[in-house]
Amino acid sequence: MTKILLLGCGNMGGALLKAWAEKSDHDLTVADPAELVLPDGVRQIRSVDELDQALFDTLIVALKPQMIDAVLPAYIARLDPVGTISSIAAGYSSARLAAHAPGRSVIRIMPNLPAVIGKGMSGLYAHGTVPAAASQEIEFLAACSGATIWVESEDMLDRLTAVAGSGPGYIFEMLRAYSEAAKALGFSDADAQKLVLGTVQGALELAQQSDQSLEQLRNSVTSKGGTTAAGLRALNGSEQFSQLIGETLQSAYLRAVELR
């Protein structure tokens, strides 16, 4: 049975742990000093001193980046010499992880918030030479909470962070602005949110099920001289919306590079 140690258990770590407990038969241990409500069968320790001499196959770091250097070294000795160290911490590079764990496989995971409902979009990056079995194991764990995509460099993981990791924040802000605009047209708070979320959900599911491109789908609802055309002209008539989205992703990417 695969033995996994999760170091830290905040919101994202807890969401991933819940998915692993439900969808795997792994032996799961959490190291966190906080009072936690954990899935059945998951063991909690509050310090490395509570661990016996058993070694773990995988150590997954779910700490805040600024805590890793202080906390991680004490637990490395509990990772099997051929084990894998992974991290979901943004802004902490794989090279820094590898420096803590010489000779181990190193894989970074970049999940996003919808992982809490099993609809996450996670990026995966393997640092250096990583055995296929280690890659498959981390991919399995990431896939327990949603879709996955591998990238070939840490720079691409930073770019993925800008698109998917931070992406839910952009979407929530768009939905907020969309709802406020609906309220300005006279709808109540509840009706505005129902209209906006229902419209977005339907459009998203249609896009996922359709063989048409996003441009084709947009055109299919846009009659010349009609209401949608008027709205789109205001939204992006001079490509201002496209430019703003591009600037949003570029700003997030540059910040990810700075944090690395």
Q: What is the pLDDT of residues 86-107, one digit of tens each?
A: 999 988 999 999 999 999 999 9
End residue of a domain, out of 113, 137, 161: 161
CB 21, CB 40: distance < 8 Å: yes
Residue 52 confidence (pLDDT) above 90: no
Provide CB contacts within 8 A for 163, sequence distance 6+: 249
Give the tokens for residue 94.
């794989």
Same domain? 181 vs 104: no
Strand, coil or helix: 60: strand
Same domain? 153 vs 245: no
Query: Each residue of 178-228: pLDDT tens digit?
Result: 999 999 999 999 999 999 999 999 999 999 999 999 999 999 999 999 999
End residue of a domain, out of 135, 161, 187: 161
Same domain? 143 vs 247: no
Domain count, the chain: 2
Neighbouring-strand partners of residue 56: 79
End residue of a domain, out of 161, 189, 216: 161
Same domain? 150 vs 224: no
Strand, coil or helix: 182: helix
Nearest to 10 by CA among 41, 29, 33, 28: 33
Same domain? 148 vs 175: no
For the chain, the average pLDDT equals: 95
Same domain? 40 vs 61: yes
Same domain? 114 vs 59: yes
Same domain? 186 vs 156: no
Question: For residue 60, what are the domain limits?
Answer: 3-161
pLDDT at 91: 85
Neighbouring-strand partners of residue 28: 4
Sheet holding 79-87, edge to edge: 43-45, 27-31, 3-7, 56-61, 79-87, 105-110, 120-127, 146-150
Same domain? 150 vs 36: yes
Distance between CA atoms of 175 and 158, rounded to whole angstroms? 25
CATH number at residue 195: 1.10.3730.10
Same domain? 104 vs 188: no
pTM of the model: 0.91
Same domain? 153 vs 220: no
CATH number at residue 139: 3.40.50.720
| pLDDT band, very low/low/confident/very high, at 150 (cuts 50, 70, 90) | very high
Nearest to 104 by CA among 21, 171, 5, 191: 5
Same domain? 197 vs 153: no
Residue 260 confidence (pLDDT) above 90: no
